[in-house]
């Protein structure tokens, strides 16, 4: 539990500062919404100019009207015309396809970053009624989630509401997998790989496990040999975890053989730790609800079934049919049952805004064990070391409510709830099937941008 403050005046000043920051944030959000409205007006002007040019029967490029308008706006805003075009397209999509999000942004209830997340993940939903339900769920979550955490929720909700759209998006994305080089100009080149999420997370996890096993002893003999050798020894002995991961990656790629490309797919070679939640009907090849890769989002059912087939054991997760809250976890060979349940429920550090993975967190007693707190799932939650320290060494306090909801109280007395991700992104059963029945019966309620 946090310590009592001995300087109430300081917290009063912090309270005023938080109030001003919140007020300023709302004003900025409102101004960004107003700018989006102006950019929508610009798209209407482009449409008008295009019609005028078409009426004049001019033989010219079809996007000249867009170029002239965006060039003028770009000059006035001191950005490139291509940037203006992209902003015009985003503003049009937000205003026409997500009016509730636009209204929330105008009211200052959400930030522009939240609005971008809602649009990016939901733009693939064609059915207007389903898109409205998606928007409602995301706006409710956006009022207490940060944009990075909202992005994961948005991907899951969109996939559950419209599984067919997810399949098409992931099919196209897999076709774009590639490895790229970006020279930084300082003797370092960045190696970028666009891979299926399951492979990318498994690769990173395996590199991390290998890096953690590397022991870099400080070689006293080398340090005594001379300054040059000593410098090399210090450099070798002080590698960070990131540096070790990079070194191991280079070793594996330069000395390893692609054995996974013999018999079977690359998934057959994965021995890393990843958490995948697979609906039982999907696992039985009798459903289309997407599986979820913890920390990333939905993955296609075929990949999920392949991973399940090669897994040494399965955890069975029971979920509340109305709220989506995990109720319990068991296993055919029970071991660390409470930890498995907490990993399934929390999926990350439970401090507001933190995205640290559960296997890098402590299973912390909300009420300290030394003060009589029970070792039960109702009194445990994952906290990373940073926020574990904040809880114990500062005036921050936390209480746990039913359903795994943590209620944090800051130095000013303001409270900040943190709900388990499964309850935030939960979609009632049946929405996907209703979406499939109405697909094709309803067209978009608005025309696409005129560019």
How is 119-182 classified by DSSP, letter by letter? HHHHTT---HHHHHHHHHHHHHHHTTS-HHHHHHHHHHHHHHH-HHHHHHHHHHHHHT-EEEEE
Tens-place pLDDT, residues 388-442: 988 988 888 999 999 999 999 888 888 889 999 877 677 776 665 665 566 555 5
- Which tokens go with 300? 């296609």
- Which tokens go with 386? 């940073």
Pick from 388, 377, 385, 386: which is nearest to 420 by CA?
377
Q: What is the DSSP letter of 299?
A: E
Identify the residue whose tokens are 């200052």: 108
Tens-place pLDDT, residues 264-304: 445 444 455 667 777 767 766 777 777 777 766 787 777 77
Is 48 in contact with 56 (CB distance < 8 Å)?
Answer: no
Identify the residue whose tokens are 């039985």: 284
Is 20 in contact with 36 (CB distance < 8 Å)?
Answer: no
Phi and psi at 361, nearest 5°, equal -120, 170
Give the model's pLDDT for residue 268.
46
In a 13 Å sphere around the CA of 15, the CA atoms on its Cβ side amount to 13
In a 13 Å sphere around the CA of 401, the CA atoms on its Cβ side amount to 9
Give the model's pLDDT for residue 289.
75
Angle at 158 between CA 26 and CA 318, to 5 degrees: 110
Is 160 in contact with 434 (CB distance < 8 Å)?
Answer: no
Is 420 in contact with 405 (CB distance < 8 Å)?
Answer: yes
Q: What is the DSSP letter of 394?
A: S
One pLDDT digit (tens) per residue for the chain, 451 residues? 445 555 667 788 888 999 999 999 999 999 999 999 999 999 998 888 878 767 766 555 566 788 888 888 888 888 888 899 999 999 999 999 999 999 999 999 999 999 999 999 998 888 899 999 999 999 999 988 999 999 989 988 998 898 887 787 778 888 888 988 887 877 788 889 988 888 888 889 889 888 888 876 544 443 444 434 333 434 445 788 889 999 888 888 777 666 655 544 454 444 556 677 777 677 667 777 777 777 667 877 777 777 777 666 666 666 666 777 766 655 544 356 888 889 888 999 999 888 888 888 988 999 887 787 777 888 899 999 989 988 988 888 999 999 999 999 888 888 889 999 877 677 776 665 665 566 555 545 555 555 5
Q: Left, alpha or beta for 57 (phi > 0: left; psi -120 to 50: alpha)?
A: left
Is 90 in contact with 83 (CB distance < 8 Å)?
Answer: no
Residues β-bridged to residue 190: 182
């Amino acid at each position: 539990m946090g310590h009592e403050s001995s300087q109430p005046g300081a917290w009063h000043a912090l309270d005023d500062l938080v109030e001003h920051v919140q007020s300023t944030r709302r004003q900025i959000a409102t101004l960004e919404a107003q700018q989006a409205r102006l950019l929508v007006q610009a798209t209407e002007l482009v449409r008008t100019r295009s019609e005028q040019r078409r009426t004049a029967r001019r033989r010219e490029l079809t996007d000249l009207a867009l170029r002239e308008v965006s060039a003028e706006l770009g000059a006035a805003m001191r950005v490139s015309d291509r940037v203006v075009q992209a902003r015009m397209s985003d503003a049009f999509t937000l205003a026409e396809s997500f009016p509730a999000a636009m209204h929330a942004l105008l009211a200052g209830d959400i930030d522009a970053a939240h609005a971008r997340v809602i649009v990016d993940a939901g733009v693939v939903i064609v059915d207007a009624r389903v898109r409205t339900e998606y928007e409602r769920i995301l706006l409710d979550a956006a009022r207490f989630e940060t944009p990075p955490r909202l992005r994961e929720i948005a991907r899951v909700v969109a996939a559950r509401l419209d599984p067919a759209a997810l399949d098409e998006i992931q099919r196209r994305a897999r076709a774009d997998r590639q490895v790229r080089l970006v020279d930084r100009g300082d003797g370092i080149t960045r190696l970028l790989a666009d891979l299926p999420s399951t492979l990318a997370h498994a690769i990173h996890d395996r590199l991390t496990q290998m890096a953690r096993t590397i022991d870099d002893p400080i070689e006293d003999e080398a340090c005594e040999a001379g300054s040059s050798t000593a410098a090399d020894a210090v450099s070798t002995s002080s590698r960070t975890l990131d540096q070790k991961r990079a070194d191991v990656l280079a070793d594996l790629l330069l000395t390893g053989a692609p054995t996974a490309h013999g018999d079977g797919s690359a998934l057959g070679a994965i021995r890393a730790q990843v958490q995948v939640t697979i609906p039982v009907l999907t696992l039985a090849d009798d459903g289309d609800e997407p599986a979820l890769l913890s920390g990333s989002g939905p993955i296609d059912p075929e990949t999920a079934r392949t991973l399940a087939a090669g897994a040494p054991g399965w955890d069975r997760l029971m979920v509340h049919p109305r709220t989506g809250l995990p109720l319990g976890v068991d296993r055919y060979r029970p071991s660390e049952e409470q930890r498995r349940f907490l990993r399934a429920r929390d999926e990350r550090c439970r401090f507001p805004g933190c995205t640290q993975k559960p296997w890098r967190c402590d299973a912390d007693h909300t009420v300290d064990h030394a003060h009589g707190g029970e070792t039960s799932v109702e009194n445990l939650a994952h906290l990373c070391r940073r926020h574990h320290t904040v809880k114990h060494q500062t005036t921050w306090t936390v209480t746990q409510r039913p359903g795994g909801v943590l209620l944090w109280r800051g130095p000013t007395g303001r409270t900040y709830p943190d709900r388990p991700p499964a309850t935030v992104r939960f979609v009632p059963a049946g929405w996907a099937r209703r979406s499939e029945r109405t697909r094709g019966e309803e067209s978009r309620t608005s025309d696409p941008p005129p560019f």
